[in-house]
Amino acid sequence: MKVVLLHAWPPDERMWDRQVATLREAGHEPVAPRLYGRGPSIDGWAGQLLSEVDGLFVAVGASMGGYLALALARKASERVPGLVLVGSRAAADAPERRAFRDEVISRLRTEGVWAELETEVDAEDLAVAQEAMRDRPDLTGVVASFGGPLLVCVGDADEIVPVEEARGLAETALLGSLEVFESAGHLLGLEQPERFDAVLLELLSQWT
């Protein structure tokens, strides 16, 4: 199965290097596109990726990438037989979250990339990606109507997506399931790669 791995913010596509190797070894066809430099619209990103990736694929999205995974399913559900949302949500940003993003955008454009971000992505690309996340629509309806398996993964120490929100998201889906990673935060594929890989391979086994 083709698997499109959609990275989080502020990392880039290299956050998936381990999963690319693991999936390839297991006989899948992983694709890890770079999401920066695609403009300020996640819906626009989805249109670009659908023209770049052929055929059916399972979309695996971490945080920002999860927003894009849902946009892909909304635009072309017939091409996306399965979804994995990792530390991500379907709802649009609440007002306080939008205000926080505005602060991040302003700081990036005035100060540049600060060391704590631990990224090699440049400030403007990071700022534009924040704009895309800030302005994305509510896609909870996509979760509720999605016909394939939808796996929600969350760390019990995630400071952005609470476990209860992730559980509610999984329960909304027709074929939803939830995996809670103990003692893990927001970027599960980096923090607990062995368990994350095992969970992902188990989901993908139904297409092998």
Tens digit of pLDDT for each residue in 110-164?
Answer: 999 999 999 999 999 999 999 999 999 999 999 999 999 999 999 999 999 999 9
8-20 burial by CB neighbour count: b if 16+ within 10 A, else e? bbbbbbebbeebb
Structure tokens at 104: 């991040």
Q: What is the pTM of this model?
A: 0.98
Q: Residues 155-205: pLDDT tens digits?
A: 999 999 999 999 999 999 999 999 999 999 999 999 999 999 999 999 999
Q: ω into residue 10 within 30 of 0, thus cis?
A: yes
Structural domain boundaries in the chain: 2-91+138-207
Sheet containing strand 2-6, strands side by side:
29-31, 2-6, 58-62, 83-86, 149-155, 175-181
Interacting residues of 103 by C-beta distance below 8 A, sequence separation 6+: none
Residue 208, pLDDT > 90, answer no
Tell the CATH topology of 2-91+138-207: Rossmann fold (3.40.50)
